[in-house]
Amino acid sequence: MTTFSCFILACVLVIGIIVTGAEGRPRAFFIFGDSLVDNGNNNYLATTARADAPPYGIDYAPSHRPTGRFCNGYNIPDLISQQLGAESTLPYLSPELRGNRLLVGANFASAGIGILNDTGIQFVNVIRMYRQLELFQEYQSRVSALIGSSQTKSLVNQALVLITVGGNDFVNNYFLVPNSARSRQYPLPQYVKYLISEYQKLLQKLYDLGARRVLVTGTGPLGCVPSELAQRGRNGECAAELQRAAELFNPQLEQMLLQLNRKIGKDVFIAANTGKMHNNFVSNPQQFGFITAKVACCGQGPYNGLGLCTPLSNLCSNRGQYAFWDAFHPSEKANRLIVEEIMSGSRAYMNPMNLSTILALDAITT
């Protein structure tokens, strides 16, 4: 281990002491995006995009009950919160999010949404990205009433932010139906460029609202999820057009983030190549302890990829051996492996740096 590595490790070990609020709180954590990171906002909305019935949450400790997370257990925000030494953030719409619990942060994510406002229109009443950012402003007003505007600004500036959005702009928009409105408007490469330009506006707004450390995840292997294998795949092969979409989107997203950082003059935005992480499971599931990365644990039809996960669905008993929990979403085991890479992955996965390095550097400068 190099001297610099030892220095970084030492900083990480004292992170809980140094990068905390005035009262010794872990840094706040804010989450934006879609069902991959929603932890229950849609429970409070009149929408079909919900995960509030069994067997969702079957492994969620300690209740083993559905919470609104699209997973059998913990999702990526939960696992990052654990790394921060903090409790999981509450959904912003939860009535429990009040008083000092606001200082932990908040989750604004909503299943079904995308970068574009017309993504997921079939889910009707969901919190689209522009509205998530409005709620973030509202959150800051609520916290200002609690601790004052100066302390609120510090809390937000020192917070960690995670944003996961983009997959639905393909699955629940461009490729939702043959000859969709967006596919008639744009060839796929131009659509990806349009998405990236719209995403940049959202990220700039997030920065303007005070975010200074933002993890931005790419899309997963869109054509290889059980739903697409069931509906579009041929002989168990990933759906080529959706894979092409992910292969176009993820590198352009990473380049856009690096350009934003150069414009700002600081490494605000961190590209988390979760697509590459998940592709590792797909190409070699056994290496990661999975028996399959094609069949969902919960579902029905080919690859358990048709329809929703419900109490009547097929349900695997060995959930830690499945990369996918349902037709679209990773299992808790897969989420844990992804967060391991977020924490300590090389620049191929985390550009320009991983979360452990971020925490160490912030410990030095705070």
Choose between 54 and 281: higher pLDDT: 54
Q: How many CB atoms lie within 10 A of CB 13?
A: 11
Residue 20 in any domain: the answer is: no
Q: How many CB atoms lie within 10 A of CB 254?
A: 17
pLDDT tier for residue 24 given thresholds of 50, 70 and 90: low
Which tens digit of pLDDT belongs to each residue from 145-157?
Answer: 999 999 999 999 9
Q: What is the share, in percent, of the chain residues with pLDDT greater than 70?
A: 93
Residue 10 in any domain: the answer is: no
Q: What's the pLDDT score for residue 363?
A: 85
Q: What's the pLDDT score for residue 138?
A: 98
Q: What is the share, in percent, of the chain residues with pLDDT greater than 90?
A: 87
Residue 234 in any domain: the answer is: yes
- Residue 135: burial class (beta carbons within 10 Å; 0-12, 13-18, 19+): middle
Q: What's the pLDDT score for residue 10?
A: 43
**Local structure of 49: helix, strand or coil:** coil
Give DSSP secondary structure letters for 293-324. SSS-SEEBSGGG-BS---TTSEE-S-GGGBSB
Residue 14 in any domain: the answer is: no
Q: Is the pLDDT of residue 64 over 50?
A: yes
Which tens digit of pLDDT belongs to each residue from 276-294?
Answer: 998 998 899 999 999 999 9
Q: What's the pLDDT score for residue 366?
A: 58
Q: What's the pLDDT score for residue 144?
A: 98
Q: Is the pLDDT of residue 17 over 70?
A: no
Query: Hey, which residues are catalytic here?
Result: 35, 326, 329
Q: Is the pLDDT of residue 223 over 50?
A: yes
Q: Is the pLDDT of residue 14 over 80?
A: no
Q: How many CB atoms lie within 10 A of CB 209?
A: 16
Contacts of residue 328, defined as CB under 8 A and 6 or more positions apart, other chains included, come to 35, 70, 171, 225, 226, 227
E strands along the chain, which residues? 29-33, 105-107, 160-164, 214-217, 269-272, 298-299, 314-315, 350-351
Residue 24 in any domain: the answer is: no
Strand partners, 215: 162, 270
Report the CATH number at residue 248.
3.40.50.1110
Q: What is the pTM of this model?
A: 0.93
Number of domains present in the structure of the chain? 1
- Rounded to an integer, the average pLDDT of 179-208 is 97
Q: Is the pLDDT of residue 206 over 90?
A: yes
Residue 11 in any domain: the answer is: no
pLDDT tier for residue 187 given thresholds of 50, 70 and 90: very high
Choose between 322 and 14: higher pLDDT: 322
Cα distance between the two ends of the chain: 26
- Rounded to an integer, the average pLDDT of 87-107 is 97
Domain of residue 53, residue span: 29-365
Residue 228 in any domain: the answer is: yes
Q: What's the pLDDT score for residue 90?
A: 98
Residue 16 in any domain: the answer is: no
| Chain mean pLDDT for the chain | 92
Q: Is the pLDDT of residue 5 over 70?
A: no
